[in-house]
Amino acid sequence: MGQAYDVVIVGAGHGGAQAAIALRQNKFEGTIAMIGDEPELPYERPPLSKDYLAKEKTFERILIRQPAFWEERNIAMLLGRKVIAVDPAAHSITTEDGATIGYGKLIWATGGKPRRLVCSGHDLAGVHTVRTRADADRMMDELDGITRAVVIGGGYIGLEAAAVLAKFGKQVVLLEALDRVLARVAGEPLSRFYEAEHRAHGVEVRLGARVDCLEGADGKVTGVRLHDGEVLDCQMVIVGIGIVPAVEPLIAAGAEGGNGVSVDDRCRTSLPDIFAIGDCALHSNGYAEGATIRVESVQNANDQATVVAKTITGADVTYDSVPWFWSNQYDLRLQTVGLSIGHDAVVQRGDTASRSFSLVYLKGGRVIALDCVNATKDYVQGKALVAGGIAPDPARLADAAVPLKELAAAS
């Protein structure tokens, strides 16, 4: 075997970076290596569909830490290297270039690869996904030469990318297969609000849209053909239809899982000394009534990383953080707390016309989540309602003049 480290982190993204940071914060003195298949030091992924794509922030500004930080803490950065195999018995991993690296503990923080279209034309030039800096750079390089783009997928990434393209004055068609955008993650009032906002900014939002194939000429995309035969002309396609967790080497090594790798409440996989965190970790989440899910958010990656670092340094901690998330589109800042999955009622605070309002999701009368649009106070104060499983008086909850902190205190 070549080198060996006390802790090897696979994946130099949000979770991997935070695991290394938290290990040193918790006085871990052993050797640490981070292996990442991207060439860059860890950077923030959310700006790739927001201010980085909009050319409002440089790459240096989205680095999670400056280069000196990793050197000063003696964290070896093995970048541009992909891990292709794990040998749990030998406590080693193998990289694509044939090197074998030993570990004491392994932290698997590989996120996921963008789900791709399976129809013909999916691999034409001009067809993009948005997961990495390289993806965003490729899109940015092409932007000047295009006038029309089609975005496939009305989730957060698709909507954010559409907003940036519209800002650049491009004609944008957004295709969503379901009958509303954000259908998997938000209540209907929020979906309708965002559909209306995008339309007001010139984006053509098409719901229930079914893509048949992508058309091209000379290897470049020229249009999107829908099931009914209509062809939408375009020079760029952005595909935002979710991710596939990057867990093949771990599953091949015998780890339990499927759509992700299964972990317990300390983020331990079924294999000895191997943890998994972030987008790829299938865990039982207390804010989803214990359902086994993957949560794709910076909060989840960071907090699971911290739990692992504390576990490795001997603390007795479990993962039970309140989920939170944000999305920026146009001048709208959405902040969410909790998970709205399984809600049976929605209460609206404030008027959508004012472009500052919140949706409060309830289950059995208890607050399980909030979506707050330009309403940071509700977001900040609502967290206690979610964390405490508070059942507030519905009339007061619906009154935007009543601060949420009063409802948390009154229950």
Q: Taking CB under 6 A as the rule, does residue 130 contact ligand FAD?
A: yes
Binders of ligand FAD among residues 327 to 386 (CB under 6 A) are 327
Cβ-based neighbours of 403, under 8 Å, separated by 6 or more:
377, 381
Please give the single-letter amino acid code of residue 311: T
The torsion defined by the Cα of 202, 132, 210 and 231, in degrees rounded to 10, comes to: 60
Residue range at the interface with ligand FAD (CB under 6 A); choices 31-39, 66-74, 341-349, 396-404: 31-39
Figure out which of the listed residues 8, 11, 285, 358 binds ligand FAD, where binding follows CB under 6 A. 11
Per CB under 6 A, does 400 bind ligand FAD?
Answer: no
What CA–CA distance (Å, rounded) separates 367 from 356? Answer: 20
Helix, coil or strand: residue 28: coil
Burial bucket for residue 368 (CB in 10 Å: 0-12, 13-18, 19+): buried
- Work out whether 157 is an interface residue with ligand FAD (CB under 6 A): yes
160 vs 176, beta carbon nearer ligand FAD: 160
Q: Is 16 in the site for ligand FAD (CB under 6 A)?
A: yes
Encoding tokens for residue 25? 């914060």
Task: Find tokens 């075997």 and name the residue.
Answer: 1
- Min separation Cβ 67 and ligand FAD, Å: 17
Strand order in the sheet with 171-175: 127-128, 236-239, 148-152, 171-175, 204-206
Torsion angle defined by CA atoms of residues 34, 38, 40 and 43, in that order, rounded to the nearest 10 degrees: -80
For the record, the structure tokens of 165 come out as 């393209």
**Residue of the chain from 26, 31, 297, 374 that contacts ligand FAD (CB under 6 A):** 297
- What is the 3-class SS of 50-97, one letter each residue? CCCCCCCCCHHHHECCCHHHHHHCCEEEEECCCEEEEECCCCEEEECC
Q: Which of 5, 22, 23, 45 binds ligand FAD (CB under 6 A)?
A: 45
Residue closest to 293 by CA, chosen among 341, 325, 335: 341
* 162 touches ligand FAD by CB under 6 A: no
Segment contacting ligand FAD (CB under 6 A): 165-173, 186-194, 253-261, 319-327? 319-327
Q: Which of 22, 28, 37, 400 binds ligand FAD (CB under 6 A)?
A: 37
Kindly tell me which residue out of 7, 9, 10, 203 binds ligand FAD, with binding defined by CB under 6 A: 10
Q: What is the C-alpha to C-alpha distance for residues 351 and 332, in angstroms, rounded to an integer?
A: 14
Binding residue for ligand FAD (CB under 6 A) from 51, 125, 213, 326? 326
The window from 10-18, 20-28, 265-273, 338-346 that contacts ligand FAD (CB under 6 A) reads 10-18
CA Rg, the chain, in Å? Answer: 22
Contact between 301 and ligand FAD by CB under 6 A: the answer reads yes
Number of residues that bind ligand FAD (CB under 6 A): 35
The one among 176, 197, 296, 303 contacting ligand FAD by CB under 6 A: 296
Span near ligand FAD by CB under 6 A; candidates 116-124, 138-146, 225-233, 293-301: 293-301
Distance, CA of 228 to chain centre: 32
If one asks whether residue 193 binds ligand FAD (CB under 6 A), the answer comes out as: no
- Is 36 a binding residue for ligand FAD by CB under 6 A? The answer is yes
For residues 11 and 245, the answer to whether their CB atoms sit within 8 Å is: no
Among 298, 367, 372, 407, binds ligand FAD (CB under 6 A): 298
Stretch that binds ligand FAD, among 7-15, 166-174, 353-361, 375-383 (CB under 6 A): 7-15
Pick from 7, 9, 33, 35 the residue near ligand FAD by CB under 6 A: 35
Site residues (CB under 6 A) for ligand FAD, limited to 52-111: 82-83, 109-111
**Interstrand relation of 231-233 and 236-239 (parallel, antiparallel or unpaired):** unpaired
Q: Candidates 147-155, 214-222, 320-328, 373-381 — which segment interacts with ligand FAD by CB under 6 A? A: 320-328
Q: In this structure, are residues 216 and 121 in contact, taking their beta carbons and an 8 Å threshold?
A: yes
By beta-carbon proximity to ligand FAD, the closer residue of 107 and 362 is: 107
Sign of CA dihedral 141, 145, 150, 155: positive
Nearer to ligand FAD, 9 or 175 (CB): 9
Residues making contact with ligand FAD (CB under 6 A) = 10-16, 35-38, 45-46, 48-49, 82-83, 109-111, 130-131, 157, 246, 278-280, 296-299, 301, 325-327
